[in-house]
Structures are given as structure tokens and as C-alpha cells.
Amino acid sequence: MVDLKVKLHDIEFKNPVTLASGTCGFARETAEFFEPGLLGGYFLKGTTLKNRDGNNYPRMAETPSGMLNAVGLQNKGIDYFIENIYPEIVDYDTQLIINVNGSTVEDYIALTEKVNELDKINAIELNISCPNVKEGGMAFGVSCPGAEMVTREVRRVYDKTMIVKLSPNVTNITEIAKAVEGQGADAVSLVNTFLGMAIDAEKREPLLSTITGGLSGPAIKPIALRMVWQVANAVKIPVVGIGGIMTAADAIEFMLAGASVVQVGTAIFKDPMIPVKIVEGIEDYLKRHNMQSASELIGALQV
Amino acid sequence: MPKKFVKEFNVIENSALNATNFLIKVQSDTEFPVIKPGQFVNIEVKEAQEIFLRRPFSIFEVDYENNVISMIVKILGRGSRKLTEVKVGSKLSMVYPLGKTFTYPSSDDKILLIGGGSGVAPMLFLAKESGLPVENVDILLGARSKEDHINVDSYKKYANLHYASEDGSLGEKGFVTQHSVFTNNLNSYTKIYACGPDGMMRAIAKEAKAANVFCEVSLENLMACGFGVCLCCIEPTTKGNLCVCTDGPVFNINDLKW
């Protein structure tokens, strides 16, 4: 028997496979395909203090080995979540983590205070890296002072595990990681999407209503992997690896590079069963390599 | 128990209906759940690295006895073109069943079903499922020319068939909204259903609204996931931005901001 359990700060995941925020709704949608308890956890859809309608259509463009999105944090706000969604998912036998977003520091604080009251939510993912909103989001995450400020202020009101989600759209991602570590982040997750663009040459128009959007999918994997490896070597807090994971081998590569937990994202648009196959694939890998525990993979890259 | 599935189906038929529309029939080795008109499948385009996402197609016919689903695939771009090249005997991975169905007519309804291009698929499926006598079901099909029309004569037993073509080579000349069935007395119908190009559905909705006749349309926005998590295929409605894949694809025109 191999042990798939991994720890991230003080919370335990039954296996290292989780779903990325913005690609798994509120875990109810994938539950129509498979038992929610098969995965380690769910980083739920980015939530804000108030309702957000998101950006105009079109919000999506397919690109080689990936896609661009410009959803813009469409959600019904934290109060709707607490009243209507939380009761429905609270008994799922898995880690549920809320991805929190704000236009201002005050928004982040007010939202986090509400989330802090929810017993089943053991962690938040502080999103300072959404590329598709005009205010807040990535604006905080692309400078050390901005990232430090949001992390520090939210730390004051949040008692449980705080994971800060980092933007790859920076010159040196290790500097941002170290900055949020210094302000009390318990873990970092990376990467959010890469700012990109697509054009319809025939019409001479952009393919997205917002002109630019976030690139995800296997196209970004090598860059994301490099960033996870750099960050894992630069900070002492654990790392959540994200970026183009399609297979168990991809997930294992991120763990070898230093990730304690991985998030599967865009892959589920291609096949909603991929995350379950990745869990099985990691188990197979551990057996083949005579390893006892998934945690042995973390940072085990031989260089 | 799962309600939605990802499964490999065997391709048992792939035949050209005309220059741009193909009939693809796939068979499962297991039974599948009840499937309703308006619902769709999301098909993986294999052996095409540049095509990352699946392509959604409305379900045309369902044969529960032989576990067969058929789709009409219209060539619209790279993905659909690649799909029409699929060989009999190969496999297709499908996510299904997705989306919601139409409001079914009641036994005293008289209905008009309007299909444009490959949009005929859910209209014919609904005609068959309606359970209404033939005299209470009119199907109006529109296309550019006779060559672009799909032969649907086998549906004569479910409905009266009417044709419109832009060049007049089949049925009445002009758009479906210029056809006598549509212009004469729209109020003789209690329910109107439409599926086809955006412009066609908007024109129909405008007239149906003016005549105050119940009308549902099936939309086809760009999709990534097909099951309500990516929030890419949204349509602005009176209830906010809704997902075409899970809140639709069928919408009542009064809920749309058209």
C-alpha cells in the first residue's frame, strides 16, 4: 500500500491532486462525473465580496495546446456562496478552498472575514494574480509592495491556512514569493495564467472582448514548471504547482520540482475524468518506483 | 451516481449529407441515459495537436435499442472539418449528455419548428419527440440553395415540411422569416422553436415577440468545457450572464437581451 497523503502547512490532502480555481466551478459540476472525495481538494471559483457579471462575450479563444480566457471573475458574491452553495458542498469528503479576490484591500479583508467563519473551509487562496480584471487582481501581484500589503492585511484577519496565488507576469517570481512569505503567507500557489492575445487576421479584430486574456493549458507547462522549481528553491513555505498539467507524469514533474500539491485546471475542459486518472497514475508511479509515500516526491529532483 | 459521462464510442457511419454537412453515427457498448432534443455532446478531435478543445454538437437521433447516437456535423472550421474525416470503425471520445431540453409541447399545442443549416438536427428530434399529430407540427427549413438543404423526407411522418432557400431553388425564395408559413399567421401557432444561425434566430425572435407567441431558441456560443465550469459560453439574459452549456442551450426569447 502506498500512502498518497500530503501536507500543506497544517492541512492534510488525501492525495496531491486538486482542481484549479476557475476550472472546477464549486465542485458540484465535476461531481456529476465523479465522486468529489476521489480528489485531494478543490480550489473553488474565484469569489468576490459582491456579485460580478464578468467580461463581455467572447471570453475564450483556442490557441495551440491551450486557450486564452477573459472571464473576469464572474461570480455571485460571498453571501450567495455562504447561503446557497456552501450547504450543498459542505459534506464533500475533500479539502475545499476558497479563492478570494478584491478590487481594494478593504474588499479582500471584508471577504476574508466572512470566509474565516466557515468551519469546513480550512484554507484560502489569496488571488493577487487575476489578469482579467481592471482593478485589483494582478495589479497587486506584480509588485513586491502590492503583494506584501495585501498579504499582510489579510493575514491580520485570517487564522487558517493562507495560500497566496502568484502571477507569472513578472520579471522575477521568486522576489514576489519571498515578499509574501515575509508577510505571513503559509504557502504559495503558482502559476496563474500568462497574459496573452489572439487575433482574427481575416477580420483584423481581437478574438477576445477584452483584447488580452490569460493563457493556460499544456502550452504553458515548461514555463510554469521552471517557475515552481525556482520558487520552491527560494522559499521555506510549501508550494502548490499549477500550469498545464494533463497527465500523472506532468503532476509528478511538478512535485519533483518542489510542489507539495498540484492543481489540474484547463485539462478538465478536455476531459473531466483526467484528475481521477492522475491520482491513479501517481499511485502506479509510486509502486513502480518502490516508494511508500507521495510526499517522497516533493522536491526529489536529482540535479 | 454520475449524471454525465466521458466515453469512447465506435463510429459506425460517417456520410456526407451535402457539401458541408455530415451525418456521424456512433455506438456505445453500454446503455446510455435518456437524451432529449436540444441536448448535446462534446466531441474530442483526435490526432490534431493544434485543436485543443472539444467541439459541441447537438444530438440528432437516438436509438436506445442499439445504443446509437447521431449528430449532424457542419464544417465550420478546423475542428469540425477534422471530425468529418473520421473513419468508420474508429473511436470518438464524447462528453454527454450536456445541456437542457426544450419545453415540450402539450397535446393541444400547434407548433412551428424552424431549422437553419445543421440547426435542423434538434428541430427534427423535437418533432419526433413531440408526440403531436402531423397536422399540428410544421417544420420550416432554411438554407442558401437546394444543394445546401439536407434531405429530411423521412420526417414527413412526424410533420409537414416546408422549405425556404435564398436562391429559390427549393421551396419559397428568401429567408425563413419571409416564408408564407411564417408571414401568414404566426398566431396560429402556440409554440415556436428555432435553431440555426444567430441572425436567423434573432429575426424569428423579433417576430414571435411582436406576435406574443411562446418561442424558444437553441444557442451555439463558443464553449470550452461544456459542463458549466469555465464560464466562457455566457449569454447575457434578464437573469444575468448565463452559461449556454448548462443553463441552455435552449432559452426562452423573453429571457434573452435580444
pLDDT tens-digit map of A223-276: 999 999 999 999 999 999 999 999 999 999 999 999 999 999 999 999 999 999
Exactly one of A6, A19, A27, A130 is catalytic; name it: A130
Instruction: Return the residue of B nearest to A57 by Cα.
Output: B234
Q: What is residue A90's predicted lDDT score, i.e. its pLDDT?
A: 97
Q: H-helix or E-strand containing A222?
A: helix A221-234
User: Does B50 score more than 90 pLDDT?
Assistant: no
A144 is an active site residue? no
Distances (CA, A) of B158 to B69, B113, B128, B129: 19, 12, 6, 9
User: Does A135 score more than 80 pLDDT?
Assistant: no
CATH placement of domain A6-55+71-194+216-297: 3.20.20.70
Q: What is residue B93's predicted lDDT score, i.e. its pLDDT?
A: 96
End-to-end distance of chain A based on CA atoms, in angstroms?
29
Q: H-helix or E-strand containing B235?
A: strand B234-237
Q: Which domains, and CATH codes, for chain B?
A: 5-98 (2.40.30.10), 111-218 (3.40.50.80)
| Ranges of each domain in chain A | 6-55+71-194+216-297
ipTM over 0.90: yes
Q: Average pLDDT of A84-108?
A: 96
* Residue A192 in marked binding region: yes
Distance CA B81, CA B86 (A): 9
User: Does B47 score more than 80 pLDDT?
Assistant: no
| Phi, psi angles (nearest 5°) of residue B116 | -115, 130
Interchain CB contact of B77 with A (< 8 Å): no
Chain B residues with beta carbon closer than 8 angstroms to that of A217: 52
For residue A232, which amino acid is it? A
Coil/strand/helix, residue A175: helix
Interchain CB contact of B131 with A (< 8 Å): no
The CB-based long-range contact list for B235-244 (8 Å cut-off, 24+ gap) reads B235/A57, B236/A57, B240/A51, B240/A53, B241/A53, B241/A54, B241/A74, B244/B99, B244/B219, B244/B220
The model's confidence at residue A134, banded by pLDDT at 50, 70 and 90, is: confident
The model's confidence at residue A130, banded by pLDDT at 50, 70 and 90, is: confident
